[in-house]
Chain A
């Protein structure tokens, strides 16, 4: 029998590949052969591991040493030093993300990032995503086995309700409750849909889950289908995520081969099969009724509600739509129980949340931490502070439609309820950190431009409101704004929120509203003094 003494993982996300990730992998294989140690070392290409500061990354287990960025020409030395002679080649190690400060939940995990608590990304970056056996070896498909052998659909939903899991797509709706709506809806045919149309700017957590651990989503969808009484599911993956689509396609065909998808799974009465549906580039399709329209082959224009998809969804049938991250929690909850899950996070928002850290910070990337950590902690521990020692000015949470948080709200615990109380939205988990070189008018303009282009144009408040807000902001940034513009912006923001048909329009006015609330003086300087305090806006409109 072969004994593997080291496991080597090589990142193979699009950026790693562009930087020679394939040559790194090929050279590793060749060098390992050269030393004749190919039977002792396993080498695998994995998806994105979250260390975007050091791509391509090579991780060597069991020591959990992270090398990066690794160039193809560094490989020979790495193999000789670490894999052959057993010494850590410290010159090529990625910068350490060590911890500062004392935090109660500090439960260091040996791996890519200390003090994280990984549930949904537990296996991503550790297993070979194209190998179903690797998934099974890491507790994969145990939860569906347990469900089919020991649990009734009601047991499954009760467990989920007890766990307190809330939707991770942004709205935070209790997942167990949603499942019971679909289970209780009348109809002989029901659908389960995974919403992987992740288009919220700054968010790429779902891509990492799908690229790194595709089987976990298949397993979760099986559990959901069993609970609500469905036999058919769709994975709606955005068109830009080619690698994720490829990985899921492989995973589905492997699961079919093993009899995990198809008729009478594990000899039970339960049958389930899955289709992939690729998006074609439209932010709005992340809205669940627009997504349904798109699967049916039409323009992705949101439907009027009610009826809700839980009673009348895909082709008029009761339909469960869940986000990727939400689903990724399900197998772990079933395996370990609701009590275990509730031991993480805060009482109102149990579990973990995946955040993407972006902007003017020293380390960008992705973390999974318990709910309730504060922005200040994220900034100092994971982001390692602001780039060039600049001052923190604001953060936007949850992508383009999220809230703008000024420095004064840095210590608000990040969970659904605390954020709601503070009047801000947690959203999808993107944390865009801006230093004081950023102009709020400029940022608002970029965000409004996004909504202007991504509005499906079906309803007037959104189609006209976003256009109008953008042109006002453009005037302000060019020095031709008036004080009346500020009232108009507030009114547009209010109308967007109250009159739009869907979530896109309803949240499109949030950033501009927040900016006028927290940074009004800076906006007024553009109008009254015709000066951009940060020097970003070029006041070309001034006539002297």
Chain B
């Protein structure tokens, strides 16, 4: 089987699972997109096509929703997604220095994915962990009170 074939099966499975869980209803669109995005790492055009077909809702309206919410991505993302909180509480607590160091260490700008597909770097608004700012979230792991000299060690935990 071709790589595309395997990928299509994965997409089909993710969409089926999400629609089975939430129901074939237009009002369940955001939970469905959330689940598919989590399973595949992003929302490939094929997945949106399939969901549009199943929910009998135009593709344009699905794309408009998918592009609105920060947690949904219509572009492929790296294996590990680094989110850096750029809101004021983290900024005041030393966020600027953390951001400089982080950017230099992964050699990426906001919104970029590394060529080897390992890292994506995105800035985000407040994650609600302000008591321990500056905050970095990698995949589902939150790191609080981050100091610039700790970032290399944090990144080194992600070896694959």
Contact = CB atoms under 8 A, between A and B. Distances in A.
A234 B141 CA distance: 28
Interface string A195-211: 00011111110010000
A198 B89 contact: no
A60 interface: no
Contact of A280 (B72, B125, B130, B144): B72
Contacts of A360: 92-93
B29 A199 contact: no
A204 B27 contact: no
B76 interface: no
Size bracket, chain A contacts? 35 or more
Interface stretch (A145-153, A224-232, A239-247, A368-376): A239-247
A280 B73 CA distance: 11
B87 A280 contact: no
Interface in A327-359: 356, 358-359
A446 B128 CA distance: 17
Interface string B127-142: 1111111000000111
Given A52-B132, A299-B65, A430 B89 contact: yes
Contacts of A359: 89, 92-93
Contact of A450 (B65, B87, B143): B87
A193 B87 CA distance: 27
B31 interface: yes
Interface in B11-28: 26-28
A240 B128 contact: yes
Interface string A274-295: 0001111111000000000011
Which of B33, B71, B130, B133 counts the most A-chain CB atoms under 10 A from its CB?
A: B130
Interface string B68-106: 111110000000000000111101110000000000000
Contacts of B61: 298
Given A297-B30, A300-B68, A359-B93, A241 B128 contact: yes
Interface in B28-58: 28-31, 33-34
A478 B25 CA distance: 51
B126 interface: yes
Contact of A239 (B34, B65, B86, B133): B34
A529 to B, nearest CB: 23
A434 interface: yes
A282 B128 CA distance: 13
B127 A396 contact: no
A446 B88 contact: yes
A238 B65 CA distance: 16
B65 A298 contact: yes
A193 B92 CA distance: 34
A434 B93 CA distance: 9
A446 B86 contact: yes
Contacts of B30: 277-280, 294, 297
Interface of B: 26-31, 33-34, 61, 64-65, 68-72, 86-89, 91-93, 124-133, 140-144
Q: Please list the 5 inter-chain residue pairs (A to B) with the smallest Cβ-Cβ separation, ordered nearest first.
A: A281-B70, A52-B131, A281-B71, A280-B69, A201-B87
13 contacts: A202-B87, A238-B128, A239-B34, A280-B72, A282-B69, A297-B30, A297-B65, A298-B29, A358-B133, A364-B131, A366-B131, A399-B126, A432-B92
